[in-house]
């Protein structure tokens, strides 16, 4: 019985990240084989630009405003909601660009099961980018 309780508690803890929380999702985008770190950074930078350029002008203004006046956006509930929608849309464009460039999203199961963020949701959304 003691072994069973120990095994169960270890299983629960395996889905937890302690102290600093789980790492961000961008760490689990795996570059294609044979690509240098410099090329990897260039692709990431190009995809960042491409994702930004896919936003319309009002979305770009709101996205840019988040860089300079985050506190102002956070205080206004409606503006914050719109800001989160724009950042999620930008992330989707960015992730699609990475996938098209040969990167694959391969997080460990433990990361997907961690309860300290939207990891499960991110894993479900990015399942299409695994292969």
pLDDT at 120 over 70: yes
Task: Dump pLDDT digits (tens) for 55-105.
Answer: 999 999 988 887 777 777 788 888 889 999 999 999 999 999 999 999 999
pLDDT at 92: 94
Q: What is the pLDDT of residues 17-49, one digit of tens each?
A: 555 678 888 899 999 998 999 999 999 999 999
Closest to 25 (Cα-Cα) out of 106, 127, 110: 106
pLDDT at 24: 86
Task: Indicate if the pLDDT at residue 52 is higher than 90.
Answer: yes
| Tokens 């270890």 sit on residue | 10
Distance CA 84, CA 90 (A): 10
């Amino acid at each position: 019985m003691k072994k069973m309780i120990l095994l169960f508690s270890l299983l629960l803890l395996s889905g937890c990240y302690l102290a600093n929380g789980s790492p961000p999702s961008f760490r689990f985008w795996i570059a294609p084989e044979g690509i240098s770190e410099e090329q990897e950074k260039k692709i990431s930078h190009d995809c960042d630009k491409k994702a930004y350029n896919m936003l319309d002008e009002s979305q770009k203004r709101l996205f840019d405003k988040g860089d300079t006046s985050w506190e102002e956006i956070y205080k206004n509930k409606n503006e914050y909601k719109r800001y989160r929608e724009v950042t999620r849309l930008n992330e989707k464009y960015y992730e699609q660009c990475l996938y098209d460039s040969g990167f694959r999203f391969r997080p460990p199961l433990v990361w997907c099961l961690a309860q300290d963020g939207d990891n499960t949701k991110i894993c479900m959304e990015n399942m299409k980018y695994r292969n």
